[in-house]
């Protein structure tokens, strides 16, 4: 079976590499010539644990090209994994999806199944089917459209694809369903076959439910601080209930990344567009935006302003295991601190170069080690729960900082590690240890 994949971002490249690892001949298409050259040398252009190694192992089954016509003309299955970025009104931008659809319609020269992995609003597959048929150059062939949403998370994308929690296949005809079941026969995962619109909705409903769970527990955490409860004890009790489960119950400074922020806004927009309102999703969005500023608000307890303060920032990315900055709390907090006159010392193991490109270097020192970032700092803010942060000897905070005040937005440490250390340690939803006010 000859497979083509449109787009080599997180979804497209991971999909292509994982299919190649199962023995399929896969051609990955991208418009960026430099990116394609890098991949032709067996180098992954994105940071994703395990991807580079699997890519090197599967190179004999992988082809990378900018020539979409050659890739699509005789492909039996074409996966579409291009971006659907957020528009200013919160809706999904489908420009790239339709560009690929047009290319397929003009290039395909045999019956094929076009599989939409990109996250698209409900009803998009139906519209794409009509669009492709209208633009189709060869009217003697049949181009089928199927929905196959991805459920991978950055940092665990390879594992999430090879060992998926479920594979959802949305079709309106028997042929594309059987083709996709054949494609995925080597993947050990529950396979759910549904209609296309249901498949599209599964993606949004799943991501938005997880976002709801995160925002809910963050509101519980904020209340815990006020009433004297410990959110970690509370969520442990909640998680033991099998109806709730213990995942996505970690309090912090909000979700970020390429999926949750975009997908919550897109579903909220879609509901309003259809004269509906998903109030719970709207509330989750509002809670998350406010939660991002939790640490700066806490810091105001210790400093009236940040003028000329040396502030250590540990972690730039929205989560560990990725260099992705999309919707990361650091992106809104760092400019705020800089506007207030702070001098920042920033450390992140993989995300600093991306951050430097976004924010610049004025009043920022980019540090190679956590210790370098902490040197002579008046305040430390933890935005990402990297293992290096979790494993740090907490005595370093007192040894290196001018004033050891550590505000942790990801609850990286047990409270007892700071008892009797002289280090002020504040986190989310828990009491502050060695509070100096």
pLDDT band at 258 (very low <50, low <70, confident <90, very high): confident
Alpha-carbon span 37 to 57, nearest angstrom: 18
Report the distance separating Cα 402 and Cα 322, nearest Å: 31
Do domains 2-194 and 203-291 share one topology? The answer is: no
pLDDT of 167: 98
Residues 176, 82, 135, 90, Cα dihedral to 10°: 110
Q: Tell me the CATH number for domain 294-426.
A: 3.40.50.720
- The answer to whether the pTM exceeds 0.85 is yes
Q: pLDDT digits over 262-279, tens only?
A: 999 999 999 999 999 999
Is residue 379 scored above 80 in pLDDT?
yes
The verdict on whether 316 is a catalytic residue reads: no
Q: What is the mean pLDDT of the chain?
A: 96
pLDDT single digits (tens) 135-154: 999 999 999 999 999 999 98
The predicted pLDDT at position 377 comes to: 98
Provide CATH code, domain 203-291: 1.10.1040.10
Radius of gyration of the chain (CA): 24
Q: What share of the chain is helix, strand, coil (3-state, %, to 5)?
A: 45, 15, 40
Examine the pLDDT at 382 and tell me if it is beyond 90. yes
Amino acid 436: pLDDT: 86
Q: What are phi and psi of 146, to 5 degrees?
A: -135, 150
CA-to-CA distance for 226 and 223, rounded, in angstroms? Answer: 5
pLDDT level of residue 299 (50, 70, 90 thresholds): very high
18, 28, 259, 367: the catalytic one is 259
Domain ranges for the chain, please list them. Answer: 2-194, 203-291, 294-426
Class of domain 2-194: alpha beta
């Amino acid at each position: 079976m000859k497979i083509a994949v449109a787009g080599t971002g997180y979804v497209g490249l991971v999909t292509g590499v994982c299919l190649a690892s199962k023995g399929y001949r896969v051609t990955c298409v991208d418009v960026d010539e430099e990116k394609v050259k890098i991949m032709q040398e067996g180098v992954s252009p994105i940071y994703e644990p395990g991807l580079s190694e699997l890519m090197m192992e599967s190179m004999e089954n992988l082809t990378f090209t900018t020539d979409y016509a050659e890739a699509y003309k005789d492909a039996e299955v074409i996966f579409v994994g291009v971006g659907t970025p957020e528009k200013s009104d919160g809706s999904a931008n489908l420009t790239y999806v339709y560009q690929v659809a047009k290319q397929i319609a003009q290039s395909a020269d045999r019956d094929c199944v076009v599989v939409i992995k990109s996250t698209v609003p409900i009803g998009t597959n139906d519209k794409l089917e009509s669009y492709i048929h209208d633009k189709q150059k060869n009217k003697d062939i049949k181009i089928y459209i199927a929905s196959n949403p991805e459920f991978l998370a950055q940092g665990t994308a390879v594992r999430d694809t090879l060992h998926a929690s479920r594979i959802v296949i949305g079709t309106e005809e028997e042929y594309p369903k059987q083709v996709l079941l054949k494609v995925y026969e080597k993947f050990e995962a529950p396979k759910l076959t549904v209609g296309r619109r249901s498949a599209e909705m599964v993606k949004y409903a799943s991501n938005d439910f997880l976002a709801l769970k995160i925002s809910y527990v963050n509101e519980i955490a904020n209340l815990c601080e006020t009433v004297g409860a410990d959110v970690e004890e509370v969520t442990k009790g909640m998680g033991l209930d099998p109806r709730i489960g213990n995942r996505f119950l970690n309090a912090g400074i909000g979700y970020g990344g390429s999926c949750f922020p975009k997908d919550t806004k897109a579903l909220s927009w879609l509901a309003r567009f259809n004269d509906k309102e998903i109030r719970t999703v709207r509330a989750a969005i509002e809670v998350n935006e406010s939660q991002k500023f939790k640490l700066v608000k806490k810091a105001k307890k210790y400093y009236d302003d940040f003028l000329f303060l040396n502030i250590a920032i540990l972690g730039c990315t929205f989560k560990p295991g990725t260099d992705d900055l999309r919707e990361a709390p650091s992106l809104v907090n760092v400019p705020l601190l800089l506007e207030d006159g702070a001098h920042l010392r920033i450390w992140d193991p993989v995300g600093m170069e991306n951050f430097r490109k976004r924010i610049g270097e004025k009043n920022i020192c980019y540090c190679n080690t956590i210790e370098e970032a902490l040197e002579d700092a008046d305040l430390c803010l933890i935005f990402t729960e990297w293992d290096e942060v979790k494993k740090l000897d907490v005595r370093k905070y007192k040894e290196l900082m001018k004033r050891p005040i550590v505000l942790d937005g990801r609850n990286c440490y047990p409270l007892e590690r700071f008892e009797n250390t002289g280090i002020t340690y504040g986190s989310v939803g828990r009491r502050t240890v060695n509070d100096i006010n």
